[in-house]
Structure 1
């Protein structure tokens, strides 16, 4: 498992985490809301739902290019609906304890969700609120653009290449790659095996983290997926 070994055999200045699908599972709630929205707008649900994950709502709606649809207004509507419905939002196994074990100034969340929705979902899943959180409002270009990861690294005072990014979705993986950051891909919510050259885990309860005297973070694993 050379990809995982490469991650375990070095220290990092900081860890950067995506949210949905990476530290918590909100698929059921998100797909309930987006399914109703798609039906209302005459969008084919089966082909549409796989495109909603890991990107900003406004980018998802703009990509459809629906006539007469105000993407900004519809994205705001989706956000309100998602804030109201967090039924079934749960942590990825071991994520909360893993995040709580990290030094507060050594990790950040980089999510395509708006801030209010991110805070609501994290609270529902028992995920601690980070000191640094980059949300949909903080960037003009969402994932796969690397702006969010670059901004998070800058706010933590480290270079993107010295950060380990935890991601699950293709858009986020591309964003981390474009930022020049090494990756740990979380596969807990994947329905099909992911072909990736990056290290993978399916849960956090087999990961241990150690902070060195210089504050740099090192990982060890008792269970390995890839």
Structure 2
């Protein structure tokens, strides 16, 4: 059997990767820290935890409207706690080889995490730092707003509509759609199916990329 194109007849100017849940998994670390925080603030942990993924920390806290809570100060404290808890962060299967196969000027990481935390997690997962990273502090509005993907594309010198976004969260996919970019859902960390019409892959083990004069093409190996 031959390789199957995931986007038949489509080549992309660049790839934009979310970080957490997409090229590495830090869910256990993040949920440990957030669980303690939620308990301290009297929140129902089981209900609250699904809301933290793919969104900037300060926006998650601000959305709660907790009396007497400074979202910026709390977000900073959570980031410091998450930077200390990286012992079980691992790469998504096949991510390292897939990233290594890309031309350096044709991809970026676009994350809702602060830059310092993102760099810490990437190093903990044993992945190389990207040639370009858009982090939480680089945009006024985080996912699901499209700002981060629009900025990532701009920095790479391409249009967002010509990019392929790799994402795992509803907020990230909404941001990709708003930026008019194509998207591929990475499902390695999903415990339940994600309702989305975008193509899905568990990880990068069966993916290959070809760089042509037209752009980057993605294939699935049998």
TM interval, shorter chain, is over 0.9
Q: For residues 129 and 8 of structure 1, do their structure 2 counterparts lie closer, same or farther at Cα, with a shift above 3 Å needed?
A: farther
Q: Equivalent residue of 1:155, what SS?
A: helix
Runs of 4+ in structure 1 over 4 Å off: none
Corresponding residue of 1:14: 14
Q: Which runs of 5+ in 1 are unaligned?
A: none
Per the TM alignment, residue 5 of structure 1 is displaced from its structure 2 partner at its CA by 4.9
Q: Is the 8 A contact 1:8 1:220 kept in 2?
A: no
Corresponding residue of 2:177: 177
Corresponding residue of 1:62: 62
Question: How many residues were matched structurally?
Answer: 219
1:71-150 alignment, distance < 5 Å: 71-150=71-150
**Cα distance in structure 2, aligned partners of 1:21 and 1:69:** 28
Corresponding residue of 1:218: 217
**Cα distance in structure 2, aligned partners of 1:111 and 1:127:** 15
Q: Equivalent residue of 1:7, what SS?
A: coil
Q: For residues 78 and 8 of structure 1, do their structure 2 counterparts lie closer, same or farther at Cα, with a shift above 3 Å needed?
A: farther
TM-score when normalising by structure 2: 0.96
Q: Which runs of 5+ in 2 are unaligned?
A: none
Q: Equivalent residue of 1:12, what SS?
A: coil
Establish whether residue 207 from structure 1 lines up as the match of residue 199 from structure 2. Answer: no
**Cα distance in structure 2, aligned partners of 1:29 and 1:8:** 37
Corresponding residue of 1:50: 50
**Cα distance in structure 1, aligned partners of 2:90 and 2:51:** 21
**Cα distance in structure 2, aligned partners of 1:175 and 1:121:** 22
Per the TM alignment, residue 9 of structure 1 is displaced from its structure 2 partner at its CA by 3.2
TM-score when normalising by structure 1: 0.94
